[in-house]
A and B are shown apart, each in its own frame.
Chain A
């Protein structure tokens, strides 16, 4: 009996399909708009400026990945997602959060946008090939990447935690997210981006990083 069960498990193991999916911000960093937002309540400074310390240096930050359960398959646009999540439970899955330290670039107030995009992209490449998750959820989720000055230790849940630690909204440096996707079936890289028509998009970053993707005033 044991031998039969073992054989069955081996057989089942042999039948498992192994896949790999990459997360990307676009070849030119087109999805990094959420990391180039300014804060209107802080003299329109870039959120990245929050990383500057007093002596001209830059604090180390982190890039936190969450897989957000949607309870369905809403549309991809920001408005659609926010509307969907106002009536559904949109919640990051507890055991799927991962975090990688990333030091974001220093910025100047008048730094051209394309130059800033390239700098942020270069910083992101520090984390290239970072293993975000070994086994993606078998359901439709959105993948979210939140930049923060909090440490990974602060944001990764303890083994017995029932809830994910929340982000400190004052320490956010950027955000990007994917369309709803079933990662076991997707045949392309998954694109992370951020929709905004203006550089003053700190409010969008707060909404994006919210624990339940609720609209942030």
Chain B
């Protein structure tokens, strides 16, 4: 038992903690050099977010417009007939592209004498409450008339009650490309027809699903998968650029994912001159915050309060020590007892008649 105690005390290494400084790498390096800690401190670099993919350009719409002008309506429809173009634009909150796609599709269908199909596109445009694009000005009056007439019909119809929930807590819900419509779970009324519901939350990949509003009431639950480090880095940059403190809860959570760090310690300048502020997050959840004059004292304080390691306890205050002492005492007692019980006896015999 004594051996186990000694081995456990002398065992090297410990949990890995990533140290990040808000803008000052020297500070992070000094923090990582904090001596006599039973943890391994490594300096991490603030993530650089990969550039966000650009939304699909208006090149396709331009080609469709050219085909419409040339009265090549089949070519126009071939370019725009895929509903995914609209859904993708809505999931990227690009309502303008969605509106232009649907308006030109209706125009091409009217040109091709597909009146009913054109009205369906006009109805979808109205159900999505997309504004008529400026492109309508270059279309025939028939197109504008149809779009407006159908919009009036859609507006006159009763709305459908829609309940939206998500597997992600406090997810932000965007409907048909309108950002931050509500926080899940929430209810709203939508026009009948096809809609796009998107949920997003820090630390998760935004997820969009189609929703067909029909009948009196419709329910939808949207799930989302955890964000990859690149997305988390982008989300973290957004938070930071919006003014959130570097040691804020959401910021620490995103930074933990972006750096793939189970234990993240951030340090930076404090509120007052000469002080340093820091926080420790474990598995993305802030466990301790502190403010000190010295960065190494701050690191030690955060690691202890975050229970990454116990403060050094004198040997005599540890229970294994007393167990070992007790065991040694018992062993000594037993050995002494055995020795005394089995003491050799020398008996001298003499004559005493």
Contacts and interface: CB of A to CB of B under 8 A. Distances in A.
B317 interface: no
A189 B353 CA distance: 10
17 contacts: A12-B344, A16-B343, A18-B346, A19-B347, A21-B347, A25-B353, A29-B353, A63-B351, A100-B351, A128-B352, A129-B350, A130-B351, A131-B350, A132-B350, A134-B348, A135-B346, A136-B348
Interface in A102-139: 121, 124-125, 127-136, 138
A22 B350 contact: yes
A60 interface: no
Given A15-B339, A15-B340, A183 B347 contact: yes
A136 B347 contact: yes
B349 interface: yes
A20 interface: yes
Given A130-B351, A131-B348, A132-B351, 11 more contacts: A17-B346, A19-B348, A23-B351, A24-B352, A29-B353, A124-B353, A125-B353, A128-B351, A129-B351, A131-B349, A135-B347
B353 A121 contact: yes
A100 B349 CA distance: 14
Contacts of B339: 15
A143 interface: yes
Q: For B343, B344, B351, which residue has the most chain A Cβ atoms within 10 angstroms?
A: B351
**Main SS of chain A's interface residues?**
mixed
B54 interface: no
A128 B347 contact: no
A177 to B, nearest CB: 14
Interface of A: 12, 15-25, 29, 63, 65, 100, 121, 124-125, 127-136, 138, 143, 145, 183-185, 189-190
B346 A22 contact: no
Nearest to A31: B353
Contacts of A124: 351, 353
Interface string B317-353: 0000000000000000000000110011111111111
Contacts of A65: 351
A23 B349 contact: yes
Contacts of B347: 19-21, 135-136, 183-184
Contacts of A15: 339-340, 343-344
